[in-house]
Amino acid sequence: MHGLVEAAHVDHLHPDSGIAIATSADGAELTRRIFGEKVAWVPWRRPGFQLGLDIAEIKERNPNAIGVILGGHGITAWGDTSEECRANSLEIIGTAEAYIAEHGAAEPFGPVLDGYEPLPADERRERAAALFPLIRGLASADRPQVGHFTDGEAVLDFVSRAEHPRLAALGTSCPDHFLRTKVAPMVLDLPPSAPLDEVKARLKELHAQYRAEYAAYYDRHATPDSPAMRGADPAIVLVPGVGMFSFGANKQTARVAGEFYVNAINVMRGAEALSSYAPIDEAEKFRIEYWELEEAKLRRMPKPKPLATRVALVTGGGSGIGAATAHRLAAEGGASSSPTSTSPPPRRSPPNWARPRCGRRTSRSRSRRTSRPRTRSRRPSGTPCWRSAAWTWSSTTPGCRSPSRCWTRPSPTGTCSTT
Ligand SMILES: [Zn+2]
């Protein structure tokens, strides 16, 4: 797209207000009404070469345009310089935001449902903690997943409103969103006052239903060339009164999936405020989700680390073995939680038994020393010591038989005494 549009700078973005116009049932008419000749409408087309040609042609036909709204998707803006392109992008976003704020309906998601108001914060967290192991287990039926929890205002408001079941079922629209969130979330259909056991039983039923529906969606659209189904578990689980659980192969993707669903909520709110939300149809979503290029991108991703998706609780992680364990778990891809560890791992300070005094080596200390990288004795004199309150590596201890391999106490100034 960027290479085909005749402009020095082209920006393609997915702002909530822009996608709200792009996913409105009358998006073309709204674009004309909001922007006049300044922004043109491009009907939905899958991202790729042809979409680039479409935008290029529309730009030719609309010489006064600074950008386009891409139906069902996002926006593209252009300019002669990077600054101009950025300013044009911001103008499209800001104008759409202002129009929604000024002309949008007051309650686009409908009234709050009786009994679906958010629980108080402490009860919300308590219920989330009680449900999280079960929901993570359900979301990990095909492969282990890491979870993230969000109880932000946008989420709690959405799941408390009358229209949320209908809108959630329509799914997200922007390709960059549903590749992370899956085409639709799983939504608990019980109020927050429902007993915990009843909620758990219902979640299991809904999960079985979700998997069956996802498999049916795959079967409806798959062709003999389609990649195999990548898993039928939900990436987003909405629990009224409590919040949203999002899942991914690691903590970062789980969090980003949740953030994209918050974007999708904002998009639905804007579209419903002005018109009605009309995402791209299911067949198109499938063609993107199981696009060969998308599959190739997944194949190129690095292999997961050995402890990816595993979660461990490390106690005594503030220092020593506990901290080293927490950092090792993280390095191997695990998600570790340590109640006390926030400091970086001790990189150089050996335990007491491994700190020989000069000239008095033991076989144990010798083996420790030989395993240390030699670079530890290369610190330039006067640089801030890596741990001024601890032992430092020195080559200047008087009388040391092996000056380049000697532990000594830190200098009074807290700088490394190595020459
Ligand atoms: Zn895009």
pLDDT digits (tens, 9 = 90+) for 209-223: 999 999 999 999 999
Check residue 49 and give its pLDDT. 86
What whole-number percentage of the chain has pLDDT above 70?
80
The one-letter amino acid at 329? L
**More confident call, 160 vs 356:** 160
Residue range 44-66, pLDDT digits in tens: 998 888 889 999 999 989 999 99
Mean pLDDT of 295-309: 80
Check residue 5 and give its pLDDT. 86
| E strand residue ranges, 194-308 | 236-239, 243-248
User: Is residue 408's pLDDT more than 60?
Assistant: no
Mean pLDDT of 344-366: 48
Q: 38 and 193 in contact (C-beta within 8 Å)?
A: no
Mean pLDDT of 271-290: 93
Residues in contact with 101: Cβ distance below 8 Å, sequence separation at least 6, in sequence order: none
Q: How many other C-beta atoms can be found within 10 angstroms of the C-beta atom of residue 350?
A: 16
Residue 264 pLDDT class (50, 70, 90 cuts): very high
Distance 390 CA to ligand 1 centre (A): 52
CA distance 100 to 98: 6
Q: 247 and 147 in contact (C-beta within 8 Å)?
A: yes
**More confident call, 8 vs 295:** 8
Instruction: State both tokens at 212.
Output: 């069956």
Burial 62-71 (b: 16+ CB within 10 A, else e): beebbbbbbb
- Pairing mode of beta strands 186-187, 146-150: unpaired
Q: 282 and 179 in contact (C-beta within 8 Å)?
A: no
User: Is residue 312's pLDDT more than 50?
Assistant: yes
Mean pLDDT in the chain? 83
Instruction: State both tokens at 243.
Output: 């919040």
Distance 47 CA to ligand 1 centre (A): 7
Distance 210 CA to ligand 1 centre (A): 27
Angle between helices 282-289 and 196-221 (to 10 degrees): 80
Distance 10 CA to ligand 1 centre (A): 13
**More confident call, 307 vs 25:** 25
User: Is residue 181's pLDDT more than 70?
Assistant: yes
Distance 14 CA to ligand 1 centre (A): 6
Distances (CA, A) of 227 to 118, 173, 203, 286, 361: 41, 21, 29, 11, 62
CA distance 362 to 366: 6
User: Given its phi and psi angles, is residue 89 left (phi above 0), alpha (psi -120 to 50 degrees) or beta?
Assistant: alpha
CA distance 68 to 37: 10
Distance 13 CA to ligand 1 centre (A): 6
Instruction: State both tokens at 313.
Output: 């609780």
Residue range 73-115, pLDDT digits in tens: 999 999 999 999 999 999 999 999 999 999 999 999 999 999 9
User: Is residue 32's pLDDT more than 90?
Assistant: yes
Instruction: State both tokens at 312.
Output: 């461990």
Distance 177 CA to ligand 1 centre (A): 9
CA distance 141 to 346: 38
The one-letter amino acid at 1? M
- The whole-angstrom distance between residue 276's C-alpha and the CA centroid of its chain comes to 27
Domains and CATH numbers, the chain: 9-103 (3.40.225.10), 121-300 (3.40.225), 352-408 (no CATH)
Structure letter (DSSP) for residue 209: H
- The whole-angstrom distance between residue 32's C-alpha and the CA centroid of its chain comes to 34
CA distance 347 to 387: 9
Q: 185 and 236 in contact (C-beta within 8 Å)?
A: yes
Mean pLDDT of 197-208: 98
Mean pLDDT of 272-287: 94
Mean pLDDT of 12-27: 96
Check residue 115 and give its pLDDT. 95
User: Is residue 188's pLDDT more than 60?
Assistant: yes
Distance 283 CA to ligand 1 centre (A): 18
CA distance 197 to 222: 37
Distance 83 CA to ligand 1 centre (A): 21
Distance 419 CA to ligand 1 centre (A): 55
Distance 76 CA to ligand 1 centre (A): 9
User: Is residue 367's pLDDT more than 90?
Assistant: no
Helix (H, G, I), strand (E, B) or coil at 289: helix
Residue 347 pLDDT class (50, 70, 90 cuts): low
Burial 2-12 (b: 16+ CB within 10 A, else e): eebbebebbbb
Check residue 394 and give its pLDDT. 35
| E strand residue ranges, 94-211 | 146-150, 186-187
Check residue 337 and give its pLDDT. 66
Q: 415 and 383 in contact (C-beta within 8 Å)?
A: yes
Q: 290 and 313 in contact (C-beta within 8 Å)?
A: no
Check residue 348 and give its pLDDT. 53
